[in-house]
Amino acid sequence: MFGWKLLLLSSLGALVTGDGINHVELYNQALSLLSAVPQFVNQQNINNDNQVIMSVPMDYTIEYQIALNEEITANLSSDKLLAYELLKESSELGNIEASYLLGDINLYGNYTYPKNGTEALKYYKRVTEIEPNATAYFNTGFIYSTGLFGEIEIDQAKANLYYNFAFNQGDLRAGMVLGYRFLNGISVKTDCERSEFYYQSVADRLRDFYDSSPLGGPHLDSYSLRLSDFKDGVYGKGVDGLKSSLTRRNNRYDYLLSGSYSGNEDPIFDSLYWMLINEYEGSYLKKRNFTNALNDATYVREHALKLKNMIEIDKKYAARCIYILGKLYLRGEGVQTDYEKALEYFKESTEFYPLSEVYNEMGLIYEFGPDSMYDNEKAGKCYKKATKSANGIYNYGRWLMNKGNQTGIDYIEVASTYRDLEAIYTLNELNSANDKVSCSNSVSMLKFFIEKFDPIVTSLEWSFFEMIYNRPDNALVGYAMAAEQGFESAQSSAAYLLYQLPDLFEEMPTITTKERLEMAIAYLTRSSLSSNIESACVLGDIYCEMQDYEKASAAYDLAATKRSSQAHFNLGWLHEHGFGNKMDFNMAKRHYDLALSHNSKAYLIVKLALLKLRFKSFINDITGGTVNGISKDDEISSKLSGWAAWVDIYKKVRNSGPVNQEQVIENEEFEDSEVDFGEFDDIIVLCLIMLVLASFILVHYLNRRRLNQVGNQPNADNNNNDNRGGFNFEVNIIAI
C-alpha cells in the first residue's frame, strides 16, 4: 500500500540493522513522533446560521474507497509515514504494543491514517498470539462478524469464538454482543438463560462502576442517537410519531422564548439559571463546563442572598442554582470535594424552595458521606421528603428495606417505573432471587440498564464527532460496533450510513456494494424488531426497490402492527397493485383507511389514493374483473357513500333484465381497454397530486438545494470532496 517503503528503509537502515536498537526503542520513537500530532484533525463544517453540517455520502464503490485511501495517504506528513514504518519494524520484532497500535490505526483510522481491515486483523492476531488481550479479541470478533462491510470474509463461527475469548478476558462489549446474540438467535441458537447470564454479568460490573462514582452516580452523557433524527427522521418530522432519539438539548433558552413562565411578575434569575444548566449539563456538541457552572451558580447565590422580597418563581430558580452549587462541591466538580460545604448549600437551597432532589442528596451525604457526618435517622427523614424524585423514591425504599421494612420494595418498584437506574437493577435482582420475573423480562430490564451506560461501553461519542468532522467511514466502525452490542439507535445509524433510500424526487438509485446493502438490511431488521417502525418502513422500501414484495409486505406488516400510518399506506399500495399478495382492492382500502386513522396529516394523500382505488375497483367491478373489490360493508360506513350508491345502481341495472346488445358491447370495450383506463386514471391522479403538492415540492427542493450548496462549499482546509465528484450526499444539520 505504501509506495515510499524502500526509500524509508534506506534512511532507517542504521536503526534497523544496528545491534543496540530493540523493538521497545523503535516503538518509543514512533510514539514520540506521533505525540507531536493530534490523534485527530478536527474541522467542523459550519454554515452561515452557525449550524454544524454533517454530510453523509449516499453512494459507495470500491473505487471510491481506494481513491479516498490514496488521498488520505497523500496527505500524511513525513513524520507519520516514518512512525508507521517504525511501528511495523517494532511489531515484526515482537512488540505487542506496536502491533496493538497498528491494529487500532487500521481499524479506526487513528492519527488520520488510512484504514485497512486486512492489516487490522493481522496485527490484532499478532497481539493475541503472544498474550491474551480482551480488546484485541473483541475487535477481531467484530471484524469477523461484520467483515467490515465487504473487506473481509464474514465468519460468524470465528466471530463467536473471539467474542467468547474477549468475554472471558472481561470485555464488557463482548458480553453485550453475546447476550444480544443469544437473545435473538443471531448465528447461535436462541437461549434466554444464556443471554441473561451475559447481560447480568455486564450489569453487575456496571453497577460496581456506578457505586464507585461520586454520590449521585456518574454523569452518563449519552450519544446513543439515530443519525436520521438530525433531519427529523428518514420520512420527515412527525411521521408515525417515532420518538426522537435526541434527548440532550442544544440550548435551553428555547424554554424562555416559548414562554414557559406565564406569571405576572418578571423573574430575574431565569436566564442565569438556563445559562447555568447549559454549562452544567453540556450538550452533544459542548462538553460540560464545571468551572463556568461554578461561577454562574456562585453569582446567583450571592445575589439571591442579598434580595429581600423575592417573587415565587425566582425563589425556585435560586433554589435550583444553589442546589447545583452544592452538587459541584459534593462531587468535586470544578472545585475540591467538600461535603460540609455541599450540605450547607443544600440546606440553604431548601430555605428558598424545598426541592425533592436536594433532600435526596442530603440523605446520601448522611448515609454515605464521611463517617463524621453519618446519621442514618436523618438520612431516612431526608429521603422521605425526597419522594417526588425518582432516585429519592428509590433511596427511601432502599432505606426502609435496610431497616427490615418490607414496604420498601413497593417504593423501589415505583421508582423503577420512573426508570431510575438503581431501582431497575435492584428490583430485577430482588425479583430474580425470588423467581418472580420471567427470563425475557429480566433480560429486557438488564438490557435497558446496561444501555444507559453507553459512554462507558461504546465509542458512540467518538463516532458522533467523526460525523461532525466529516469522516463518516470512521464513524461507521463505532456505530456498527454498538449495533453488534444490540443498541437499536446504533443499528439504525449504521444502516443509515450503509444505505439510504433515494429522496422522493431523486431518480438515481443509491449505488453501493452487495455486502453493504446486506449489512444495512440486517441492521434494519434488528432495529425494526426492537419496535423501530421507521426502520421497518425503510426495510420495506428497500425490499420494494429490490422487487422482493413478499419481504416488503412482511416488513410493512411488522410496522403496521405498531400502528404505523406509513406502513399501512404502503401495504394498501401493495394490495392495490397485487405486489407480494393477490391484487385485492378491499384489503387495499382497509389499509388506506387505517393509514388515515393513525395519522390525520396524511389526509390528502390517502384520500387521493382512495379515489384512485375506487375508480379502479369500479372499473374492475363493471368489467367483471376477478379482483376482490371494495366490499359494501366498508362502503356504507364510508363518507363517500354517494359514489358507492352510484356503483350499486349501475350494477343493479346491469345485472337485472335481459342484457341488451349495447351493454355487451360496452362491456367488451371496457375489457379491451382496461389497461388504458388504468393508465388514464394514474395520469389524472398524478396531475392532481402534482398540482396540490407543487408548492410543497418547490419549497422542499429549494431547501435541499440550498443545503447541498452549503454542504459542498469548497473549504480551504478540507478538500475531501475532490475525489467524490458525482457522488450523492445527504446533509443533516445540527444547531450549535
Ligand X SMILES: *[C@@H]1O[C@H](CO)[C@@H](O)[C@H](O)[C@H]1NC(C)=O
Q: Which stretch binds ligand X (CB under 6 A): 103-111, 594-602, 697-705, 714-722?
A: 103-111
Q: Which stretch binds ligand X (CB under 6 A): 95-103, 234-242, 290-298, 675-683?
A: 95-103
User: Which residue, 462 or 677, is less far from ligand X as judged by CB?
Assistant: 462
Please choose, from the candidates 398, 457, 454, the residue with its C-alpha nearest in 3D space to the C-alpha of residue 426. 398
Instruction: Note whether 97 binds ligand X by CB under 6 A.
Output: yes
Instruction: Note whether 250 binds ligand X by CB under 6 A.
Output: no
Instruction: Note whether 64 binds ligand X by CB under 6 A.
Output: no
Q: How many CA atoms lie within 13 A of 99 on its CB side?
A: 20
CA-to-CA distance for 203 and 453, rounded, in angstroms? 10
Which of 85, 119, 279, 515 forms a contact with ligand X (CB under 6 A)? Answer: 119
Residues 501/510, Cβ–Cβ less than 8 Å: yes
| Smallest separation (angstroms) from ligand X to the CB of 10 | 22
The DSSP code for 152 is S
Instruction: Note whether 110 binds ligand X by CB under 6 A.
Output: yes
User: Which residue, 67 or 437, is less far from ligand X as judged by CB?
Assistant: 67
| Smallest separation (angstroms) from ligand X to the CB of 127 | 6
Which of 4, 462, 579, 729 forms a contact with ligand X (CB under 6 A)? Answer: 462
Instruction: Note whether 200 binds ligand X by CB under 6 A.
Output: no
Which of 118, 168, 190, 417 forms a contact with ligand X (CB under 6 A)? Answer: 118
- CA torsion angle for 543, 479, 110, 731 (degrees, to 10)? 70
Instruction: Note whether 485 binds ligand X by CB under 6 A.
Output: no
Tell me how many residues contact ligand X (CB under 6 A): 19
| Smallest separation (angstroms) from ligand X to the CB of 151 | 7
The DSSP code for 730 is E
Which of 91, 133, 160, 387 forms a contact with ligand X (CB under 6 A)? Answer: 133
CA-to-CA distance for 174 and 473, rounded, in angstroms? 23
Under rule CB under 6 A, which residues in 530-569 are in contact with ligand X? Answer: none
Q: Which stretch binds ligand X (CB under 6 A): 78-86, 128-136, 327-335, 701-709?
A: 128-136
Provide φ and ψ at 244, rounded to 5°: -65, 145
Instruction: Note whether 69 binds ligand X by CB under 6 A.
Output: yes
| Smallest separation (angstroms) from ligand X to the CB of 135 | 5
Q: Which stretch binds ligand X (CB under 6 A): 101-109, 318-326, 480-488, 654-662?
A: 101-109
CA-to-CA distance for 333 and 331, rounded, in angstroms? 6
Instruction: Note whether 163 binds ligand X by CB under 6 A.
Output: no
User: Which residue, 104 or 484, is less far from ligand X as judged by CB?
Assistant: 104
Instruction: Note whether 91 binds ligand X by CB under 6 A.
Output: no
User: Which residue, 100 or 425, is less far from ligand X as judged by CB?
Assistant: 100
Which of 87, 101, 482, 520 forms a contact with ligand X (CB under 6 A)? Answer: 101
Distance set, CA 195 to CA 90, 446, 525, 662, 671 (Å) = 41, 10, 20, 72, 60
| Smallest separation (angstroms) from ligand X to the CB of 26 | 15
Please choose, from the candidates 505, 492, 495, 467, the residue with its C-alpha nearest in 3D space to the C-alpha of residue 728. 505
Q: Which stretch binds ligand X (CB under 6 A): 82-90, 111-119, 252-260, 518-526?
A: 111-119
Instruction: Note whether 329 binds ligand X by CB under 6 A.
Output: no
Instruction: Note whether 43 binds ligand X by CB under 6 A.
Output: no
Q: In 469-564, where does DSSP find H-type helix? A: 472-484, 488-498, 514-529, 533-545, 549-561
Q: In 353-420, where does DSSP find H-type helix? A: 356-368, 376-385, 390-402, 408-417
What do you get for the CA distance between the two ends of the chain, in Å? Answer: 39
Which of 89, 104, 454, 635 forms a contact with ligand X (CB under 6 A)? Answer: 104
Helix (H) / strand (E) element for 271: namely helix 270-281
> Partners of 215 in the beta sheet?
none
| Smallest separation (angstroms) from ligand X to the CB of 134 | 4
Q: Can you give 595-657 as a three-state secondary structure string?
A: HHHHCHHHHHHHHHHHHHHHHHHHHHHHCCCCCECCCHHHHHHCCCHHHHHHHHHHHHHHHCC
User: Which residue, 43 or 586, is less far from ligand X as judged by CB?
Assistant: 43
Instruction: Note whether 100 binds ligand X by CB under 6 A.
Output: yes
Q: In 3-state terms, what secondary structure has residue 53?
A: strand
Which of 29, 112, 135, 535 forms a contact with ligand X (CB under 6 A)? Answer: 135
| Smallest separation (angstroms) from ligand X to the CB of 601 | 41
Provide φ and ψ at 733, rounded to 5°: -125, 135
Cell of 729: 450526499
Please report, as a single letter, which amino acid is at residue 267: P
Instruction: Note whether 108 binds ligand X by CB under 6 A.
Output: yes
- CA torsion angle for 383, 389, 395, 401 (degrees, to 10)? 90
Instruction: Note whether 458 binds ligand X by CB under 6 A.
Output: no
Instruction: Note whether 454 binds ligand X by CB under 6 A.
Output: no
User: Which residue, 89 or 119, is less far from ligand X as judged by CB?
Assistant: 119
- Residue identified by cell 406565564 is 262
The DSSP code for 570 is H
Residues 84/41, Cβ–Cβ less than 8 Å: no
Cell of 110: 487513528
Name the site residues for ligand X (rule: CB under 6 A).
Answer: 1, 65, 69, 96-97, 100-101, 104, 108, 110, 116, 118-119, 133-136, 459, 462
